[in-house]
Amino acid sequence: MSETKLNPAFDLTGQTALITGGGTGLGFGMARCLVASGAKVVLIGRRGDELQKACAALGSGAFALVGDVTKLETAPGLVDQAEKLAGAVSILINNAGVHLKKPAAETSDAEFATVLQTHVFGAFALTREAGRRMIQRKSGCVLFTASMASLMGIPLVVAYSAAKSAYLGIVRSLATEWGQHGVRVNAIAPGWIASAMLDQALSGDPARKAKILSRTPMNKFGDPDDIGWAAVYLCSPAAKFVTGTVLPVDGGAAIGF
* Per-domain residue ranges of the chain: 12-195+225-247
Alpha-carbon distance 41 to 22, whole Å?
9
Q: How many CA atoms lie within 13 A of 114 on its CB side?
A: 8
In this structure, what DSSP letter does residue 229 have? H
Residue 83 has pLDDT above 70, yes or no: yes
pTM score of the predicted model: 0.94
Which spans in 117-223 are helix H?
123-137, 158-178, 196-202, 206-214
Residue 163 is predicted with a pLDDT of: 97
- Yes or no: say if 163 and 116 are a contact pair by the CB < 8 Å rule: yes
Alpha-carbon distance 147 to 187, whole Å?
9
Mean pLDDT confidence for 110-115: 97
205 exposure class (CB count in 10 Å sphere: 0-12, 13-18, 19+):
exposed
Q: Where does 12-195+225-247 sit in CATH, by number?
A: 3.40.50.720
Look over the chain and give the mean of its residue pLDDT values, rounded to a whole number. Answer: 94
Residue 185 is predicted with a pLDDT of: 98
Task: Report, as residue numbers or ranges, the catalytic residues.
Answer: 160
Residue 208 is predicted with a pLDDT of: 86
In this structure, what DSSP letter does residue 173 have? H
Residue 4 has pLDDT above 60, yes or no: no
- Yes or no: say if 28 and 53 are a contact pair by the CB < 8 Å rule: no
Residue 238 has pLDDT above 70, yes or no: yes
- Yes or no: say if 187 and 247 are a contact pair by the CB < 8 Å rule: yes
Residue 79 has pLDDT above 80, yes or no: yes
Q: What is the pLDDT of residues 119-154, one digit of tens each?
A: 999 999 999 999 999 999 999 999 999 999 999 998
